[in-house]
A and B are shown apart, each in its own frame.
Chain A
Amino acid sequence: MILWLSFAILAALAVAFLIAPILTSRTALAASSRDDGALSIHLDQLAEIEADLGRGVISEAEAAAATGEVKRRMLAIARRSGKTRGAPSRAGRGPLILAAVLVPVAAGGFYGLLGSPETPSLAFADRADEQAQATEIAGLAEKLRIRLEGDDSGGPAEGWGLLGQTYMRMGRVEDAVWAFERGSEQPDANSAIFSRLAEALIRMDSGIVTPAAQKAIEQAMELDPKNPAAVFYNSVALDQAGRGGEGYDLLLAALQSADGFAPWMPSFIDQANRLAERSGRPPVDVASFAPMASGAPGPSAEDVAAAGEMSEEDRSAFIRSMVDRLASRLEEEPGDIDGWLRLANAYTVLAEWTKAASAYERALTLAQELPESDPRRAQAKSGLDRVAAEGK
């Protein structure tokens, strides 16, 4: 509403600019002609020559020459002015009134083509609040903070970790640092809370690994040398200390010792490749780690490249052979949840709903043993629901 009102005001302003000449022309002075303008300049020039002569800037002779020149020019104008037309006309309001109608209409048309009146504008400062309100995270975080601070034993480290993560999601990095620090002081502090503290500290300092962050990384590594977040930030720290090569080695070691595909792998690969570029080491890709770790031959880089060049039929045959290989391996190692998820996903792609559903069920059974927050639980659950819906 306000938007359309503003448009109306702007359009009215444009109309005013077009109508104004009609309203003011009645009181306007006589129009100046070309010759009047030139003559007035020459008169000024004559006066100024006099003034200069008076101040002694030019000599008598110079002044006489200049005066002569100016007078010649004035004569030339006078000779020509016989040709000048009479007084200008003041008629012709029609075109201006027509323009006053057409300009807002045309502008409206143009706006119709280009504008998007339904799109709201959102200032950055307003959006953080909006998001927080929408999810009521702010209120919940506040409640959690009060409960943790009121806890005589200092509150469980896991609670502080949750609070810190909430603050991080809200973009309140400094509060998150505070929450993680409190959590890390608790006796039950684990490796994860230290690595989260390191992450928050690094974000607070625009990506710089400060000594405090360095210390948090070291503590996280001490508690669990395999904590992926700790390993990752350790490589960042090494890079900033000018030891990118060591960071690369660390990442590669973690990738090699991984058991099947893990969600953190792609970011490790990216970081390793960034470091590889700077320290002159060979680049790496996901395919070379995930299947190798589980001991079965996965698609090699050549396999993938070959698949790209195949015809549609060949490609589905190729995928089928890969899937069969995976299925037979899983019969031997039924405890590999990542494998089951991948198999289920492959069957979904091939639209074999019953096989997909049973693979998801196997994964879901295994997932019951995983902690509540593990994304694979949700993944298996939602996959099963989707497949069940598709299969009907």
Chain B
Amino acid sequence: MTPEIGVFALALALGLALVQSILPMIGAARNNALWMGSAKATAIGQTVFIGLSFAALMRSFVVSDFTVRNVAENSHSLKPMLFKIAGTWGSHEGSLLLWVLILAAFGAGVAVFGRNIPDALKARTLAAQAWISVGFLSFLLLTSNPFERLYPPPIDGNDLNPLLQDVGLAMHPPLLYVGYVGFSIVFSFAIAALIEGRVDAAWARWVRPWTLAAWISLTAGIALGSWWAYYELGWGGWWFWDPVENVSFMPWLLGTALLHSAIVTEKRGAFKSWTILLAILTFSLSLLGTFIVRSGLLTSVHAFAVDPERGVYILALLGLSIGGSLTLYAWRAPEMESGGVFAPVSREAGLLINNLLLGVATATVLFGTLYPLFLEAITGDKISVGPPFFNASFVPIMLPLVFVMGFGPFLSWKRADLRGVLQRLWGLLLLSFAAAAIVWYLTTGGPLLAVLSLAMAFWLFLATLREWAGRIRLFEAPFDESVRRARGLPRASYGMTIAHLGLAVAMFGFIGSSAWKSEQVVFVSPGSSIAIAGFDVRFIGVERQQGPNYLADVGTLVVTRNGDPVTTLFPERRFYPVAESNTTESAIRSTLAGDLYASLAEPAADDAKPGAWTLRILYEPLVNFIWLGSAMLVLGGSLSLSDRRLRIGAPRRSAAAPTIATPAE
């Protein structure tokens, strides 16, 4: 019975979404309060019904109801409970259901919390959100019904993939989706503003919390995904420029640009149509990502051509929403009043450079991701565009961005004193290059790009700290006053400082772990030793152990440095008989300075030396800085989100409310 309730609830949600997509829009045009107000009830109703449907699917997974095809194909009665629950969004159908649930939840969020948003804007935003809902709910029901039945049911389910039984992997799709889909509401706000023909500081302020919330989730989701790859896959890498990673990274890059451009709209009334365009493009990239991942295009262009029903439907949705919104933009955007003028050297100009560079970086990633797909579709050749392309193209674009990032916060709005800023900062710039040169000297012969990147990372770190120190007048005023000022700074400004520092910290991690990584893949027999990055690793041997549902070959590695014992590592290679597959459990000695990472690859062939194994051993300097930096980005975003000025329910109380429009901020 439960699965049938799930289907019916989805059908009702589609009905409500249809009403919501039409009535409030007409209501806003005819100034009809009743029709505009209906958006609130239908948005909440939609979320309730999709939520019910999702709960019904989750229950089917929890009790292993194999009369539901989706459950039979993607679960197994022996799976641990956590992974049965995670199975709900593990399949194509389930993940789309989660997708529309988040979509509807963001709509309901605006309906419930957006009390201060004017009725007409709110009605149009929710109607635009419902257009997306109608598209995806019908896609779900017509091509990917998650509740398709199977009778008689099989004795047990089909899936026990041990590689996917990992907590990090189970939790990262929901986070990633909140980020991806969260940008939908920003898109809807942009569509509403275009129809209304008005974008101003107030609009930017109403939209900002939603952009931030989506951006924070996406940051966390991407970081978690890379952390999973690092710990579980056993390759010792944290980012592979894989298409699946790229499609989540592109909305992040443009979303970051949007976040910054919206600040200019909020504070200076400038960049209006640019902000709108970014809002449209960011969500378009989310849709593109959904299309690429969900159409089967990645497995093979030809597989897509053979069974095109789903792919074509999503492609049509993609064309309709991106094409439609851009047409609307081309038609309405020129009518926007232009706002705030600014000088070539100003905070606005700095943020413009930030936007341009982020845009170019996104385009680079987009090109590298789509080019192989197009090439395969046209000529049938399979090529892969990997790290060499991205390192050579993406990194050089990011370096000037980081450079501008360092002194951007020093520039004042409208017109800035570049000379004064440079006078304050040239010391730091020199110091950064000196620091990078010292590191280069110590490690002898690090690649040029790495040294440059390192200088930029130092620069960003120091300049951001200097900016904060300047604001609280550290060492310029009495210490008491500095403390008082530090307390008085708005949370949003701490958010910026921490997020910028976070990027610098993450950069140390990116650079250290890629440029100064040591790696050895060696054939070892018991007793042999490997020297790596100052450590001495001795291979004792491999022992067969039995786990709850697997067999493990556990290797023992004794690590010493200059004869002093450091640690003992136990990398494992597991065999799951039911699934007939192997997984690698790496052993990692993790410190802030770097990770010593060991994984067992393969035993030597039958007739070779007994007890000999292929061992992969890596030293990755500073790799944990990546996740530390990511955590700081998330923390910075959250601080900014928690600041009162960013809430939609604008407070009337003024006591604790920090600054909104301080030109010198």
Contacts and interface: CB of A to CB of B under 8 A. Distances in A.
B49 A89 contact: no
Contact of A33 (B42, B118, B650): B118
A20 B654 contact: no
Given A41-B201, A92-B32, A206 B578 contact: yes
Interface in A266-307: 279
Given A2-B1, A28-B37, A92-B32, A37 B42 contact: no
Interface string B594-610: 00000000010010000
The winner among B19, B32, B603 for most chain A CB atoms within 10 A is: B19
B652 interface: yes
A122 B65 contact: yes
B278 interface: no
A207 B550 CA distance: 9
B269 A14 contact: no
A10 B77 contact: no
B9 interface: yes
A251 B412 CA distance: 82
Nearest to A9: B5
A201 to B, nearest CB: 13
Contacts of A368: none
Interface in A99-143: 99, 102-104, 106-108, 110-111, 114-117, 119-125, 127
Nearest to B63: A123
A25 B662 contact: no
The winner among B38, B151, B488 for most chain A CB atoms within 10 A is: B38
Contacts of A124: 63-66, 77, 156
B2 interface: yes
A48 B658 contact: yes
A114 B546 contact: no
Contacts of B524: none
Contacts of A146: none
The winner among A42, A93, A114, A117 for most chain B CB atoms within 10 A is: A114
A208 interface: yes
Nearest to A118: B151
B628 interface: no
A47 interface: yes
Interface string B62-85: 011111100000000110000000
Nearest to B62: A123
B8 interface: yes
Contacts of B147: 114
Contact of B652 (A44, A50, A55, A59): A44
A300 B118 CA distance: 82
Contact of B269 (A7, A73, A91, A117): A73
Interface string B138-160: 00010001010101010010000
A106 to B, nearest CB: 5
Interface stretch (A61-69, A338-346, A348-356, A381-389): A61-69
A32 B116 contact: yes
A149 interface: no
A69 B33 contact: no
A208 B18 CA distance: 55
B382 interface: no
B608 to A, nearest CB: 12
A36 B15 contact: no
Given A32-B116, A56-B485, A121-B65, A51 B141 contact: no
Size band of the A side of the interface?
A: 35 or more
A177 B251 CA distance: 56
Contact of A14 (B12, B488, B576): B12
A378 B153 CA distance: 28
Contacts of B194: none
Contacts of A110: 11, 14, 141
A57 B23 contact: no
A123 B34 contact: no
Contacts of B31: 85-86, 88-89
A126 to B, nearest CB: 8
A20 B40 CA distance: 10
Given A58-B659, A62-B663, A114-B145, A40 B37 contact: no
Nearest to A110: B11
A83 B201 CA distance: 20
Interface string B478-499: 0000001100111000000000
A221 B74 CA distance: 39
A6 interface: yes
Contacts of A96: 23, 34-35, 38
Given A28-B33, A57-B485, A96-B23, A20 B41 contact: yes
A36 B119 CA distance: 11
Contacts of A206: 78, 549-550, 576-578
Interface string B637-663: 000000001000011101111111111
B65 to A, nearest CB: 5
A116 B151 CA distance: 10
B607 to A, nearest CB: 9
A45 B644 CA distance: 11
Contact of B67 (A41, A122, A244): A122
A124 B44 CA distance: 34
B402 to A, nearest CB: 28
A48 B655 CA distance: 8
B16 interface: yes
Contacts of B8: 7, 10, 107, 111, 115
Contacts of A7: 5, 8
Contacts of A17: 16, 41-42, 44-45, 48
A370 interface: no
A40 to B, nearest CB: 6
Nearest to B610: A242
A26 to B, nearest CB: 10
Nearest to B151: A119
A49 B484 contact: no
Which 9 residue pairs of A and B lie closest in terms of their CB atoms, listed nearest first?
A207-B577, A17-B45, A103-B15, A124-B64, A47-B654, A123-B63, A38-B202, A107-B11, A110-B11
7 contacts: A6-B5, A44-B652, A51-B659, A89-B32, A95-B23, A99-B19, A123-B63
Interface of A: 2-3, 6-7, 10-11, 13-14, 17-18, 20-22, 24-25, 28, 31-34, 36-38, 40-42, 44-45, 47-52, 55-59, 62-63, 65-66, 69-70, 73, 85-86, 88-93, 95-96, 99, 102-104, 106-108, 110-111, 114-117, 119-125, 127, 205-208, 210, 240, 242-245, 279
Given A37-B121, A119-B151, 8 more contacts: A3-B5, A25-B33, A41-B202, A51-B658, A57-B488, A58-B659, A62-B663, A89-B33
